[in-house]
A and B are shown apart, each in its own frame.
Chain A
Amino acid sequence: MASDDELSLLLIVVDVNPLWWGRKAQEEPEFSLSKCIDAIMVLGNSHLVMNRNNRLAVIASHCQESHFLYPSKHWKGGDFASDENSAGSRDGKFELLTVANDLIVQEIKHLTARTQVRGQQTDTLLAGSLAKALCYIHRVTKQLEAGQEMKSRILVIKAAEDCASQYMNFMNVIFAAQKQGVLIDACVLDAESGLLQQACDITGGLYLKIPQTTSLGQYLLWVFLPDPDQRSQLVLPPPVHVDYRAACFCHRNLIEIGYVCSVCLSIFCNFSPICTTCETAFKIALPPVLKAKKKKPKLGT
């Protein structure tokens, strides 16, 4: 059991890509963004109730920005009495949970109302949200009192597909999370995500693709609520097989044996004399050239 000095921070990153949610609303009207947010609030409340010292944060990841739904910058914590929206808890619920729920709902409404998708930016900026999440975790860790330990984990709820252009930033974030000891769990609603599989494998988190989206709340409570210490005692979904093969830069095929440039670390499937990325010419080991023996000119008489 966790002692009083150990706190656990759960940071939920929700993918609110409006294109994916809009398309989903037409295919499956019973699972909408508000149902998803409900399930997330249930998970958040349960986490806060598990231990007095637990903390929660929620980030919405959109196409243009990542926004902290909770704690929000417009709300200075600890100010329950003078909050004009909720004059005390209406149904006898713990104050903190009421405030959290109301804030999350309010902020997500503002976010979806004010942002518009511009041009070609249709991919969710997941790497940016994770980077901000790590900065937040770093700040909270620094602000702890002496003697308190904090274990943090990030739960990513992913809806849209992966964006290949974010690969490098994503990998930087994953390595930073591994260094800080932060687990990254992933709950995928639709398409399998290779990037998140790698993230979960490297940081030691759980990856799950949900078979039925309507029972999202159940999966969240069953799989992602327990702390990492208790996970060894539960029978959880088995780890997925992660494909760590590299893709060659010339054809984008997955290769098992390749050639790596020693300067820029780009991967090629065939040997070529010049690296296309950094344009260094390579030395090719040639067999030693034998000089032809000079025939002595016959001395003419």
Chain B
Amino acid sequence: MDEEPERAKRWEGEFERTWELLVEDESGSLKPSVEDILFKAKRKRVIESQGQIRLGMMRHMYIVLDASRTMEDQDLKPNRLTSTLKLLEFFVEEYFDQNPISQLGIIATKNKRAEKLTDLAGNPKKHIEALKRAVDTTCSGEPSLYNSLSLAMQNLKHMPGHTSREVLVIFSSLTTCDPANIYDLIKTLKSTKIRVSIIGLSAEVRVCTVLARETGGTYHVILDESHFKELLMYHVKPPPASSSSECSLIRMGFPQHTLVSISDQDSKPSFSMAHLDSTVGPGLTLGGYYCPQCKAKYSELPVECKVCGLTLVSAPHLARSFHHLFPLDAFKEIPLEEHQGERFCEGCQGDLKEQNVYICPSCESVFCMECDLFIHDTLHCCPSCVHSQP
């Protein structure tokens, strides 16, 4: 079972003097060195993500939320559960922003049972509402890793082969109460190609290490709230596709948005299919998206048509994922003194004041640090390279 050598534990390593990293500047403020550390972390994320590897764009992910007694601990303010739910809301928004054709589901586990908070769906609103409602739940009992993973597996098993099946577990307890041998479940997860990643809130637990290692996921334990956020953001990007995932052509529909006004003679109000299973009463609306195959109406995209099963998306949804396919190269970092040209940032037209300037490798234009971060995080295209297109 235990073929890999374990990593050396922190207390076995050298004595680290972490307080020496923070240096005061002339006015006695620590802000520049704190910003420097945050900036280096962001740069690391950009540099690590280079390379031409095939990514799994269509993702089906389950989030397993631990709602056991340990979530009432107040080491994350105001308590672990509230803080986790807040960060998960942010995660859900970013996830659907970066992976518009993917789906997400939420499972909560407490009292040795697991229950589904939301089904696998592509609409962020439902998940955010469920997370907001979950703030009032009482945390009690023990979590059950086996039950929540088998519940997730039952749903993910039936997903088509070309999608990536993932589970993200937020685990705060140090124990788990399982009805059967979890190592058998780990074998089954591995055979159904489900990748389980875990974020621990308390301490490293051995079964989680094995679970992550066997299924190909990652396991990290948080240090504080900002580290928690960073670990969550790490899972927003599409993971490298495993070699066994099948590539196939997926049949999709691109419906037109019909906008009709009340004064139009031919317009008839109709029900939207999205209200079939929602608790809000059915509403008659005039315009919407009509499925090209069965003409069922929906108010928002992307959605899977309940009548005929066709996935409905719009072209911008696919366009949102393009920047993963053509990632922007990291810019070269050189100190300000070595730069011969004008002290002028091409992006924001400001003067270059910081210590380092960043140069795009293809068009040799110079950018300041803020523009570099903005370009890599949000913009995904170099403003000057666009100008030099033939």
B-binding residues in A (CB < 8 A): 64-66, 68, 71, 73, 120-121, 125, 127-128, 131-132, 134-136, 138-139, 142, 165-166, 168-169, 171-176, 179-180, 198, 202, 238-239, 241-246, 255-265, 267-268, 271-272, 275, 280-283
Contact = CB atoms under 8 A, between A and B. Distances in A.
A139 B370 contact: yes
B226 interface: no
B249 A172 contact: no
A142 B318 CA distance: 31
Contact of B247 (A165, A242, A263): A263
A142 B316 CA distance: 29
Interface centre among A131, A139, A179 (most CB of B within 10 A): A131
Interface stretch (B125-133, B198-206, B345-353): B345-353
A169 B381 contact: yes
Nearest to A256: B292
Interface in B350-390: 350, 370-371, 374-375, 378-384, 386-387, 389-390
20 contacts: A131-B381, A131-B383, A132-B346, A139-B349, A139-B350, A165-B389, A166-B389, A175-B320, A176-B378, A257-B252, A261-B247, A261-B249, A262-B250, A263-B241, A263-B247, A265-B57, A265-B325, A267-B318, A282-B249, A283-B247
Given A120-B390, A172-B380, A173-B379, A280 B371 contact: no
Contact of B248 (A65, A258, A268, A283): A283
A95 to B, nearest CB: 22
B322 A244 contact: no
A238 B349 CA distance: 36
Interface residues of B, number: 57
Contact of B57 (A138, A168, A262, A272): A262
B323 interface: yes
Contacts of B323: 172
A271 B251 CA distance: 9
Contacts of B293: 257
Contacts of B350: 139
Contact of B254 (A65, A239, A258, A268): A258
Interface stretch (B67-75, B209-217, B255-263): B255-263
B254 A257 contact: yes
Nearest to B348: A139
Contacts of A202: 316
B1 interface: no
B321 to A, nearest CB: 6
Interface in B223-253: 241, 246-253
B274 interface: no
Contacts, number: 165
Given A132-B347, A136-B349, A139-B370, 10 more contacts: A65-B387, A138-B374, A166-B386, A166-B389, A173-B381, A244-B257, A260-B249, A262-B58, A265-B57, A282-B249
B249 A271 contact: yes
Contacts of B271: none
B161 to A, nearest CB: 8
A139 B383 CA distance: 15
Given A166-B389, A280-B247, A241 B257 contact: yes
Contact of A168 (B58, B256, B314, B322): B322
Contacts of A280: 247
A256 B254 contact: yes
Contacts of B162: 262
B375 A258 contact: no
Contacts of B326: 168
A267 B310 CA distance: 15
Contacts of A128: 383-384, 386-387
B315 interface: yes
Given A169-B386, A171-B316, A244-B314, A260 B348 contact: no
Nearest to A179: B378
B91 interface: no
A241 B375 CA distance: 31
A131 B379 contact: yes
Given A135-B371, A135-B374, A268 B249 contact: yes
A28 B303 CA distance: 49
Contacts of B383: 128, 131-132, 135
A175 B317 CA distance: 10
A68 B383 CA distance: 13
A246 B292 contact: no
A66 B387 contact: yes
Contact of A259 (B57, B251, B315, B375): B251
Contacts of A255: 254
Nearest to B319: A171
Contacts of B96: none
B54 interface: yes
Given A127-B386, A172-B381, A255-B254, A245 B315 contact: yes
B378 A260 contact: no
Interface in B262-310: 292-293, 310
B371 A138 contact: yes
B381 A262 contact: no
Nearest to A143: B350
B251 to A, nearest CB: 6
Nearest to A120: B390
A84 B384 CA distance: 33
Contacts of A179: 97, 378
A252 to B, nearest CB: 13
A179 B94 CA distance: 10
B254 A245 contact: yes
A259 B346 CA distance: 41
B11 to A, nearest CB: 41
A172 B379 contact: yes
A241 B257 CA distance: 8
Contacts of B390: 120-121
Given A68-B349, A139-B350, A256-B255, A282 B248 contact: yes
Given A257-B310, A265-B322, A135 B254 contact: no
B321 A135 contact: no
A171 B314 CA distance: 13
A263 B54 contact: yes
B325 A260 contact: no
Nearest to A280: B247
